[in-house]
Chains A and B, each alone.
Chain A
Amino acid sequence: MISALHNIGMTDGMITSSIITIVLSILAIVAGRHLRIVPSGLQNAVEMAVEGLLNFFSDIMGRKLARQYLPLVGTLFIYILCCNYSGLLPGAGEINGLSAPTNSINCTAAMAITVFIMTQVAGIKAARGPKYYLHLFKPVAFIAPLMAIEMLVRPLSLSLRLYGNVLGEETATHVFFQLIPIGVPVIMQALSILMGLIQALVFSLLTAIYLSEACETEELEAHE
């Protein structure tokens, strides 16, 4: 079945990311099916995780924006975390159909472009019209090209950071495994656990900051 998927052009990363998506969706559907005011069991656990994420992002974006954009940033965090950790499963990258999706630029670039478009939409929504782009001319007009380049380079750096970190870590583990097969790769894997969490955190954190920045520029102007 997996070779049939390969034949239609699906890579290992795509298969793994589809499986992660399906598992997360089923988990969310099952947890949210019989909602009760006093939660128990699975609903309790999921609510705790979502509340933790909401509190974390509230510190960065403010309560209102965090509630508004939690579906995006929270999903990104959970999805990237699962993607990074799927590369740590036994046999990942060796057996067919299992490999960390984030070690390919396609996956991370897709997420970064989504974030870029969402940032523009959020900024335009907050500014009620395309005058959102006036913030490019904000301090002085002649730095507008620089601000535009900075804005356009963000999805590039966002995708390259995640992709480079995951691929670099995997390559380093692979090289160490070829040098000393016993012991040393375990240390690298332990580091990978930390790295996967930090990279998921950084990606969603940066998304949150970009979003709050896009919404903030206009609010400040309205106060003046």
Chain B
Amino acid sequence: MTGLIAVAAALAIGIAAFGSALGQGNVASKALEGMARQPEAAGMLRTNMILALAFIESLSIYALVIAFLLAAKI
């Protein structure tokens, strides 16, 4: 049972990190593309990019909290 909990904790954060890495990569690449095309809009793009990254990251943070909760049960 303990082993299963450990696997569950690892899977929770692993899968979540996979998904949000894909999402954050997309956001960063598009934002950088926009900045390269339109350097005068870089400031606004950067602020909005950080916001979007924070929203995506919060999903993996939920998984991290669950992983911590599971790890405390081992």
Residues of B in contact, count (CB < 8 Å): 13
**9 nearest A-B pairs in the assembled complex, by CB-CB distance:** A164-B61, A202-B54, A161-B58, A164-B64, A168-B64, A157-B58, A164-B65, A161-B61, A160-B61
A110 at the interface (CB under 8 A from B): no
Picked from B47, B54, B58, B64, the residue with its CB within 8 Å of the CB of A60 is: B47
Picked from A161, A163, A167, A168, the residue with its CB within 8 Å of the CB of B54 is: A161
Q: Is the CB of A206 within 8 A of B61?
A: no
The interface bits of chain B over 45-74 (1 if a CB of A lies within 8 angstroms of the residue's CB, else 0) are: 001001100100110011011001000000
B44 at the interface (CB under 8 A from A): yes
Q: Is the CB of B61 within 8 A of A165?
A: yes
The interface residues of chain B lying within 8 Å CB-to-CB of A157 are: 58, 62
Q: Is the CB of A206 within 8 A of B44?
A: no
Q: Is the CB of A205 within 8 A of B61?
A: no
Q: Is the CB of B50 within 8 A of A201?
A: yes
A201→B47 CA distance, assembly (Å): 9
The interface bits of chain B over 31-47 (1 if a CB of A lies within 8 angstroms of the residue's CB, else 0) are: 00000000000011001
A59 at the interface (CB under 8 A from B): yes
